[in-house]
């Protein structure tokens, strides 16, 4: 069975790969997990996706040949949840969810990069880049003041797509993050860090090699 499971090339700390793994677990989709070292990317992954970024999901035919390749994390989440969505992550305001995720992946990600690597962007100070990122944090805080998750009482597609990036922002300087006036967001993030599905997502694994035994990623 395992030789026809989809193969996920992933890197544990990458927020894009992180949210893809969250989507797969919430969709209860088993895959073969291949952990990648970004400085030494496996030729098998590069043959599928020459751009060389993770995650990459290889879909297989019954005979083990490649059926298709999904190279974007959001598309992996959508593929997984369209297979099955037992917790109803897509049962939400998808227009609102897509708008939040779009802002996360553009404006917020740009501010996050500049905040995390401020020495590379001397135009402004790290504090200024943090404040630029806080525009989105305030938006999330306002949403979480209304309900437990971003778009309602239950986890949605938006929560799993955005959380890894808020986590990365917080980890630039945790003391500063938890001193900011966003108590609902801080609690939301803390709840995620303690969530059993997220803990499964973050299990450490050694880098994949072709001769290794198959690693099945599942709940």
Structure tokens at 43: 């030729």
CA distance 104 to 163: 10
pLDDT recorded at residue 25: 98
Tell me what pLDDT residue 219 has.
85
User: Is the Cβ–Cβ distance between 123 and 114 less than 8 Å?
Assistant: no
Task: Find tokens 């969250």 and name the residue.
Answer: 22
Domain map of the chain by residue range? Answer: 2-86+200-217, 94-198
In tens, the pLDDT along 184-213 reads 999 999 999 999 999 999 999 999 999 999
Q: What confidence tens digit (pLDDT) does each residue in 58-78 have?
A: 999 999 999 999 999 999 999
Only one residue has tokens 């945790």, namely 174
Average per-residue pLDDT in the chain? Answer: 96
Third-level CATH fold of 94-198: Glutathione S-transferase Yfyf (Class Pi); Chain A, domain 2 (1.20.1050)
Residue 1 confidence (pLDDT) above 60 = no
State residue 3's pLDDT score. Answer: 77
User: Residue 172 CB: number of other CB atoms within 10 A?
Assistant: 17
pLDDT at 2: 47
Q: What is the mean pLDDT of residues 152-171?
A: 98
The number of C-alpha atoms within 13 Å of 25 and in the hemisphere containing its C-beta is 21
Cis peptide before 55 (omega within 30 of 0): yes
Q: How far apart are CA 18 and CA 163, in angstroms?
A: 9
The CATH T-level fold of domain 2-86+200-217 is Glutaredoxin (3.40.30)
Category of 32 on φ-ψ map: left (φ > 0), alpha (ψ -120 to 50) or beta: beta
User: Is this prediction's pTM over 0.85?
Assistant: yes
Q: Report pLDDT digits (tens) over 26-48.
A: 999 999 999 999 999 999 999 99
Residues 35/164, Cβ–Cβ less than 8 Å: no
Q: Which residue has the tokens 């993050």?
A: 177
Read off the DSSP letter of residue 158: H
Residue 159's contacts (CB-CB under 8 Å, 6 or more residues apart) are 89, 149, 150, 151, 192
Residue with tokens 């083990």: 64
What pLDDT, on the 0 to 100 scale, is given for residue 123?
A: 96
- The sign of the torsion formed by the CA atoms of 195, 196, 198, 199 equals positive
pLDDT per residue as tens digits for the range 105-160? 999 999 999 999 999 999 999 999 999 999 999 999 999 999 999 999 999 999 99
Domains 2-86+200-217 and 94-198 share a fold: no
Contact 133, 57 (CB under 8 A): no
């Amino acid at each position: 069975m395992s030789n026809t499971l989809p193969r996920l090339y992933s890197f544990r700390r990458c927020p894009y790969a992180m949210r893809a793994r969250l989507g797969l677990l919430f969709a209860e989709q088993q895959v073969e997990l291949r952990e990648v070292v970004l400085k030494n990317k496996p030729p098998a992954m590069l043959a599928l996706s020459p751009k060389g970024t993770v995650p990459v999901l290889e879909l297989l035919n019954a005979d083990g040949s490649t059926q298709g390749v999904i190279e974007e994390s959001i598309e992996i989440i959508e593929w997984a949840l369209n297979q099955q969505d037992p917790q109803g992550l897509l049962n939400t305001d998808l227009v609102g969810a897509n708008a939040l995720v779009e802002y996360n992946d553009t404006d917020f990600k740009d501010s996050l990069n500049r905040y995390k690597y401020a020495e590379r962007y001397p135009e402004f100070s790290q504090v200024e880049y943090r404040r630029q990122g806080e525009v989105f944090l305030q938006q999330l805080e306002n949403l979480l003041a209304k309900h437990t998750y971003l778009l309602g009482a239950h986890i949605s597609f938006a929560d799993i797509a955005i959380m890894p990036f808020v986590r990365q922002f917080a980890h630039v300087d945790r003391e500063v993050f938890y001193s900011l006036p966003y108590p609902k967001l801080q609690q939301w993030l803390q709840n995620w860090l303690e969530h059993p599905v997220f803990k499964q997502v973050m299990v450490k694994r050694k880098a994949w090699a072709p001769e290794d035994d198959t690693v099945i990623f599942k709940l």
